[in-house]
Structure 1
Amino acid sequence: MTTTLYGITHCDTVRKARRWLDEHGVAYDFHDFRRDGIDRQQLGAWSDELGWEALLNRRGTTWRKLSDVQRDGIDAARALALMLEQPALIKRPVLDIGGRRVLGFDPREYATLFD
């Protein structure tokens, strides 16, 4: 099973997740949304599994910089289009452990997955 951590290199939460994985000897690949991008099919699958509302990062500066027109009345199709255009709008990290994806970082949850 290949474990992949998706996120943005300079995100504090991603750094915490990477540190946790390193300290617990978990082998993983890191995929940087900004550098490596994300394709529509994969993002759509995540949306189906996790829900687009959970996947859309409404707390970050990228969301706050969007116009009111872009934010108001957002639906799944518009959210996915925005996340593809601006990957920083994807909540992070996304941990892919093969048959399951985990959104965000919670050390207790990671411990149940790997320890």
Structure 2
Amino acid sequence: MIIVYGIKNCDTVKKALKWLADHHIEHKLHDYRVEGLDSDFLEQAEAQFGWENLVNKRSTTWRNLADEVKKTLSKTTALSVLAQNPTLIKRPIIMQEGKALIGFNEKEYQAAFGQ
């Protein structure tokens, strides 16, 4: 079963979940706003995608961050800022069974899932 990390009311997550359902791929959502995220997951995601790709700079959370936090965000501070503000994490994220996907791109999902 594929675990999709994201937030249930996010439109991009909804698109990814619908795509998986339409292609009969067993999956479940890990809503990290409700269920939280552990530091191991964030470290693995950072190693896979880079901290810059994890930060959703189009989010309301990003716009509401203090300018000082935005200006000084770096690899050393990003994971703690993301842990404190999980809605700042780009979504959805899939990291299992040899697949590493962030965001939703239909062509990438087709390639990853052989559809």
Equivalence for 2:83: 84
Decide whether the 8 Å contact of 2:37 with 2:83 is kept in 1: yes
Report the count of equivalent residues. 114
Which digits, 9 at most, give the CA deviation of each residue in 1:84-112, with x for residues without a partner?
01100110000223223211101111111
Equivalence for 1:101: 100
Which digits, 9 at most, give the CA deviation of each residue in 1:62-86, with x for residues without a partner?
0000011111121012111111011
Q: Which SS does the other structure have where 1:95 is aligned?
A: strand
Q: 1: distance between equivalents of 2:20 and 2:12?
A: 12
- Residue 16 of structure 1 aligns to which amino acid in structure 2? K
Q: Which SS does the other structure have where 2:4 is aligned?
A: strand
Give the Å deviation of 1:35. 0.5
Same amino acid, percent of matched pairs? 39
Equivalence for 1:18: 17
| Stretches (4+) displaced over 3 A | none
Q: Which SS does the other structure have where 1:6 is aligned?
A: strand
Q: Which has the higher contact order (CA 8 A, sep 6+)?
A: 1
Equivalence for 1:56: 55
* Aligned pairs for 1:58-77 within 5 A: 58-77=57-76
Task: Report the TM-score when normalising by structure 2.
Answer: 0.94
Structure 1: segments with no counterpart, 5+ residues? none
Decide whether the 8 Å contact of 2:99 with 2:112 is kept in 1: no
Q: 1: distance between equivalents of 2:40 and 2:108?
A: 27
Structure 2: segments with no counterpart, 5+ residues? none
Q: 2: distance between equivalents of 1:77 and 1:48?
A: 13
Task: Report the TM-score when normalising by structure 1.
Answer: 0.94
Q: 1: distance between equivalents of 2:75 and 2:41?
A: 15
